[in-house]
Structures are given as C-alpha cells and as structure tokens.
A and B are shown apart, each in its own frame.
Chain A
Amino acid sequence: MSSIDKKHVNVERRTWDKETYEARARSRASVEESGDDHNKPKAAAARADGPSSLLKDELEPEEEKEEFAKADEGRIGPMGSERAFLKARSKRVDLESKVGSSEIIDPDAASATRAKVDKKDGVSKCSDGVGWYCKVCDCFLKDSLTYLDHINGRKHQRKLGYTMRVQKSTTDEVSGVLQGLAKRKRDRENDPDREMMEPVDFEEMIRNKDAKAAARKAERARRREERKRKERGEIPDAPKPAPPPPPPEVNDGSEEEGYEEGGIDPALAAMMGISGFGSSKK
C-alpha cells in the first residue's frame, strides 16, 4: 500500500511534543495535590482538537491589563468608604489589537456570557466566549462600547476596590500641573536638537502630490499591460484583443480595472461563441 500516491491520506504518523505534555501532566498532578487553584492564567484550555494553539496560550499568560488591576492596599478613599478614590487609566484600553484576525470558535461559545470554569483533570477549563473577556467579573462582552461601559461601571470598579467618586483637586495642584505642562512645551520649542522645519511651500507640496498620483497610475497601467501580455502568451490561438486606450488624466484608475476584471473581452467572447445577452430574434 503506497500511501504516497493517494492524495487524501495522512502521509506521516502524528507526533506529539512530549516535553510540553509532560510538563502539563506534572502541573496537573501538583494542582490536584494542592487543591483548587483559580488563578491559572487564562488559557484556551482543553480543546480536543488543535493542541498547538492550546499550548501556546498556556505558556504565554496574559499580561496584566490596567483595567483589571486592583487598587493598592493603602490607597486613600473618601470619608466613610473603605475603597479608594476613582482614578483615570493611564494607558489606552486595547480595543483594536485583534481587528482583522480570524479565530475558530465553538458555536456554543458565541452566546456564552460566562466562562465555565470546570474542573477537568484538575486543570481549570475556560470555555471560549467571543469578544472581550473580563476576568475580574467573569463575563464576556461582545462590543467594544459595552466593554468600556463594563470596565467603567460600578460593579467592576467595586470588585477592584475603587469607589466611583473622584478625588477633588486643589487649586495649587492644578496650577502646578499647568505650569509643568507650559514648561515642557517651552522646553520642546527651545530644544537645540530640534530640526528647524523649512517654511512650507504649498505649491511645491501640491506639485509633489500630483506627481506621486501620476506615478501611481503609470505603475498600475504598466502592471496591467504585463498581466495582459501574460494572458496573451497562454492563449496563443485566440486573437489578440485590441488593448484599451491609455487612460486619460481625468479618469479614475479604478474604473479601468473594474471593466477589465469583470468580464471577458467582447472580441474574445465572440470568437468563443458567447455573443452576449441579445438574442438572434428581433
């Protein structure tokens, strides 16, 4: 049986990375001994398929997001409250890092709002949901705006140990802040290392932009010509259709491309017997 000839049979036997699986088994064993441990880093855990992706997530624990950081112990708060004053985030919330990426998900996962933390073989299993996951409140949020609403909301902040009230600033603080910013601005302007910008010449800028646009169109036309030449080379019997007239300056380049890629050139089509939508009857 020569499996090499058949296309759809696994040619090689499946192999596993023994070391990583050994490590997992050991950690599982230690967890069983030490009892429950909820603070495992988030892992797209025991999925039956795709062991590679599983391993990657386990081995790279999630960095602490600022929106999940608990309040420090000694932080001051308002009178009569055991929680700390609300503070603004210093870093941007990560909303866009996964844009354009694709993930395979469970159909049940799409509607999951909570991560089911099952105990299977002592390893906590986090079932996938879709969207942003808040590990403090154990919920999935499907929308960037609702995610922001959630992390700005009372429940979440209370779990982190913050109250919703902001500390009042004094006049001196504000005056200090403004002076500091003014000084920084002045330093930036007087910085001797800063390159002196040349006075802007608008005419030149416009000329440069026009030249670049023209260059781009020429590039596109050239590439189109090359592509057509290749096609012609592959179909030596078909008559060479007349090349379209060179695009006038005013025309948008995209119009030509659409025309070309949309259908077969009419002369070629006629030759092949496809004469269009009209019928022979009058």
Chain B
Amino acid sequence: MANLTDPLAAAVHGTNPQNLVEYITRQKIYDSLYWKEECFGLSASDVATKAVELKALGGSYGGNSKPTRFLCLILKMLQIQPEEGIVEQFLENEDFKYVRALGAFYLRLTGRPSEIFELIEPLFNDHRKLRYRTPTGWVITYMDQLADELLHQDRYCGIALPHLPKRDVLETAGYLDGPRQSPLAPLIEDKAGGSPERMLELMAESGNEAAIAALDERKKRKMEAEEKEQK
C-alpha cells in the first residue's frame, strides 16, 4: 500500500522507521492532500526536487493539526530510507537551506550518535534565517539555532527525538575524537597564540563591546572566587 515502509528498509532504533513519528501525527500526514497528491511514489531524487521548493520548517499547525510540507517530506524519507550518502548530500548542500535542514532533521532521527555530532556541528557556522511554523503562528529561527536544538533538546517539530548521549560520554568512549573544534580556533592561534583571554583583550582594545563586557565578567568572577577563598 502507499503508506507502507519500503520492504527493504532496515529497522531504526528498533522499530519501523515510520514509527519515529507518533501515530496521530502520522495519520494526519497520511490524510493530508500534499501527501496524497504530491508525495506519492517519490524516490530520493524526487524528494530532493520537492525539498528545494520548501519554504518553511514546522510540525503540525492550526486547530486541525495540519502537517507542514516539511513534516510530510520527513515521513517520506523515513518511508523510503535513503542511503547515508544521500543524507550527507542533503546536509552538505549549501545552495538550499531547507534541504539542509531536512537532511539534518532526518539524520538526527535515524543516524548514529557519532555521525550526528560530526555532521550537524558544521551547521553551527551557517547563520541563515529559517521560517518556522508554530501551531499558532510564524517564528524566525536560524540554522545554527536549529543545530543547537537538534543536539540538545528532546523534541523538534512535534517529533520526539531519539536519545542522544552527551558529547563527553561519546568522547570518553572513543566514538568522537575530542571536544568540538570551534571555527575560531585557527583565528585565535594566529592572533593570540592560542590563548582565548589574550584574544578577548585584543578584541576589547579594538573596541568590541561584547569583548569588553566579557572581560569585565571574568574579572568580577575572579574577584568573587578570591573573596570566597579568603573566608
């Protein structure tokens, strides 16, 4: 039938991949016009074509809990289970931000923890705006905010995210190579010889307000710590 998972698809997190979406939401998607008209018989490349036309993220909205097209495409991907290479293609695509968001969300639902961290952390460098449709209206969010929410929250777009172990747990277990590499690291190396405090001081000298505020904060905290020790 049209809504069955591909028979060759592997189980994800122990169940049918489509079960990652709750039953009620899933039924709403199956009953929606977009799913029946346009998401019928899509293969992964067709999903890519539809994803390019996406204009918003979101879960269900409105009094009727109507699913967004984003959610329909997520369920479609869960149904056809594209291979890892395809998901990476979606994620690394810089031309279309909603395609990227779709890939990130799908990866978060189905990927292994080390993969999730490795592939979603680069999204922290993407600062583009995204439209998010809440149940009652619209909100602007950003790609790096999306990455943060995917890595640290339980639910997104109305779907409960599978459990993701903490980063340091994965590091000690050896699945990840070390703490997150900030893209500022080479810059700090260059200008301040690898010391973040020195970098802050340089920025404060050049008039950066945030840096000045941050330095003041640090001084205050140091003073408080010293007072505590004296007592």
* A contact set with B: CB distance below 8 Å: 86-89, 92-93, 145, 148-149, 152-154, 164-171, 173-178, 181-182, 185
Known contacts: A153-B2, A164-B1, A166-B80. The answer to whether A185 contacts B43 by CB under 8 A is: no
* Complex partner residue of B86 from A164, A169, A181, A185, CB under 8 angstroms: A169
CA distance A257 to B40 in the complex (A): 48
CA distance A226 to B46 in the complex (A): 58
Cβ of A176: which chain B residues have Cβ within 8 Å of it? 45
Q: Nearest Cβ distance between residue B93 and chain A, in whole angstroms?
A: 6
Contacting A at CB under 8 A, from B16-44, are: 31, 33, 36-38, 40-44
* Complex partner residue of B45 from A92, A148, A165, A174, CB under 8 angstroms: A174
CA distance A120 to B80 in the complex (A): 49
Further 7 A-B residue pairs, CB within 8 A, beyond A169-B44, A173-B44, A175-B89: A145-B31, A148-B33, A164-B1, A166-B42, A169-B86, A181-B49, A181-B95
* B contact set with A: CB distance below 8 Å: 1-2, 4, 6-8, 31, 33, 36-38, 40-46, 48-49, 52, 80, 82-83, 85-86, 88-90, 93, 95-96, 99
A/B interface sample: 10 pairs, CB < 8 A: A88-B41, A88-B42, A92-B37, A154-B1, A154-B2, A169-B43, A173-B45, A178-B89, A181-B49, A185-B96
Q: Are B40's CB and A153's CB within 8 A? A: no
Known contacts: A171-B89, A177-B49. The answer to whether A166 contacts B37 by CB under 8 A is: no
Cβ of A153: which chain B residues have Cβ within 8 Å of it? 1-2
Known contacts: A93-B37, A154-B1, A181-B52. The answer to whether A166 contacts B43 by CB under 8 A is: yes
Q: Are A177's CB and B42's CB within 8 A? A: no
Q: Are A174's CB and B40's CB within 8 A? A: no
Top-4 shortest CB links A-B: A171-B85, A169-B44, A182-B95, A148-B36
Q: Are A152's CB and B86's CB within 8 A? A: no
Q: Are A149's CB and B36's CB within 8 A? A: yes
Q: Are A169's CB and B82's CB within 8 A? A: yes
Q: Nearest Cβ distance between residue A134 and chain B, in whole angstroms?
A: 15
With CB as the reference atom, state the residue of chain A lying closest to B46. A88
Cβ of A149: which chain B residues have Cβ within 8 Å of it? 36
* Complex partner residue of B40 from A88, A167, A178, A181, CB under 8 angstroms: A88
CA distance A181 to B40 in the complex (A): 21
Q: How many A-B residue pairs have CB under 8 A?
A: 90
Cβ of B83: which chain A residues have Cβ within 8 Å of it? 168, 170-171
Known contacts: A87-B41, A88-B41. The answer to whether A174 contacts B4 by CB under 8 A is: no
Q: Nearest Cβ distance between residue B154 and chain A, in whole angstroms?
A: 30
Q: Are A166's CB and B85's CB within 8 A? A: no
With CB as the reference atom, state the residue of chain A lying closest to B52. A181
Cβ of B31: which chain A residues have Cβ within 8 Å of it? 145
Q: Are A178's CB and B37's CB within 8 A? A: no
CA distance A78 to B121 in the complex (A): 38
Known contacts: A145-B36, A169-B43. The answer to whether A185 contacts B2 by CB under 8 A is: no
CA distance A99 to B99 in the complex (A): 35
Cβ of B52: which chain A residues have Cβ within 8 Å of it? 178, 181
Interface-central residue, B6, B8, B41, B88, by most chain A CB under 10 Å: B41
CA distance A58 to B140 in the complex (A): 56
Cβ of B86: which chain A residues have Cβ within 8 Å of it? 169, 171, 174
Q: Nearest Cβ distance between residue A162 and chain B, in whole angstroms?
A: 8
Q: Are B1's CB and A148's CB within 8 A? A: no
Q: Nearest Cβ distance between residue B137 and chain A, in whole angstroms?
A: 20
Q: Are B40's CB and A89's CB within 8 A? A: yes
CA distance A32 to B165 in the complex (A): 77
With CB as the reference atom, state the residue of chain B lying closest to A86. B41
With CB as the reference atom, state the residue of chain B lying closest to A167. B43
Q: Nearest Cβ distance between residue B223 and chain A, in whole angstroms?
A: 49
With CB as the reference atom, state the residue of chain B lying closest to A147. B36
Cβ of B33: which chain A residues have Cβ within 8 Å of it? 145, 148
Q: Are A174's CB and B6's CB within 8 A? A: no
Known contacts: A166-B6, A171-B83. The answer to whether A185 contacts B40 by CB under 8 A is: no
